[in-house]
């Protein structure tokens, strides 16, 4: 059985979304940071950093969301969700994955760290303006690359689309403006039923009625 450890609105969302797209059986294990679940001996044995997400597939345990998504797509994707290796589409896909993680996501995480994640004495108010500038610069580049229709590599969605769409949603959560093509892209990709299914499943576990 596949188990995803995380919280509904963390990077675990991108993994849960892909799991729903793949249509495979999986369960969600909610890690409550407020209760210190990420600092328990059991969880630290899975990921010594105490960070999310973590995926277990039988006896195999994997961390880092992009690595988890690639593993799942390669093992369960039946040739979908990743372009064929050695093609131009594969190169474009890898560029997007790298760019999302290193350029688009990092300034947003800087905002998060200096708002709530770091100890109060280490938070820098001026970091928000720096991160906002960095995100705007990266978003302007992504705006040049993003197609007018479809997905980042053509007519079929890939894991890069999930990474990008989830990160753009995170940007809106931090009150960042998206350029028009990026905004339109996010609006069309977020309509996929698997995303809402992932949200419903993880929220039902984290916040049972």
Q: Does one domain contain both 187 and 92?
A: yes
Domain that holds residue 44: 2-80+194-206
Range 94-99 average pLDDT = 98
Say whether pLDDT at 9 is over 90.
Answer: no
Residues 6 and 69 in one domain: yes
CB 158 within 8 A of CB 94: no
Same-domain status, 156 and 175: yes
Residues 6+ apart with CB under 8 A from 108: 131, 135, 167, 170, 171, 174, 176
List all residues 6 or more positions away from 3 whose beta carbon is below 8 Å from its beta carbon. Answer: 26, 27, 28, 29, 55, 56
Mean pLDDT of the chain: 96
What six digits make up the tokens of 192? Answer: 């996929």
Q: Report the number of distinct structural domains present in the chain.
A: 2
Q: Is 34 exposed, middle or buried (0-12, 13-18, 19+ CB in 10 A)?
A: exposed
CATH code, domain carrying 13: 3.40.30.10
Q: Does 13 share its domain with 38?
A: yes
Residue 209 scores a pLDDT above 80: no
With 90 as the cut, is the pLDDT of residue 140 above it?
yes
What confidence category does residue 151 fall into, taking pLDDT thresholds of 50, 70 and 90?
very high
Shared domain for 154 and 202, answered yes or no, is: no
| 178-202 per-position pLDDT tens digit | 999 999 999 999 999 999 999 999 9
DSSP 102: I
């Amino acid at each position: 059985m596949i188990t995803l450890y995380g919280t509904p609105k963390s990077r675990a969302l991108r993994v849960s979304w892909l799991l729903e797209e793949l249509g495979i059986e999986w369960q969600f294990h909610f890690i409550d940071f407020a209760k210190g679940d990420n600092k328990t001996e059991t969880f630290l044995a899975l990921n010594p950093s105490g960070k999310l997400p973590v995926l277990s597939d039988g006896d195999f345990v994997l961390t880092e969301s992009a690595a988890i998504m690639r593993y799942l797509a390669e093992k369960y994707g039946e040739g979908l969700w990743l372009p064929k290796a050695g093609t131009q589409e594969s190169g474009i896909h890898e560029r997007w994955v790298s760019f999302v993680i290193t350029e688009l996501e990092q300034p947003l995480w800087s905002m998060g760290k200096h708002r709530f994640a770091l100890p109060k004495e280490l938070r820098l108010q001026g970091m928000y303006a720096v991160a906002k500038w960095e995100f705007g610069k990266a978003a302007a580049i992504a705006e040049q690359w993003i197609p007018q229709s479809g997905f980042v590599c053509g007519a079929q969605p890939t894991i890069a689309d999930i990474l990008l769409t989830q990160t753009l949603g995170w940007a809106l959560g931090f009150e960042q403006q998206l350029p028009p093509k990026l905004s339109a892209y996010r609006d069309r990709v977020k309509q996929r039923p698997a995303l809402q299914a992932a949200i419903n499943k993880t929220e039902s576990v984290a916040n049972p009625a």
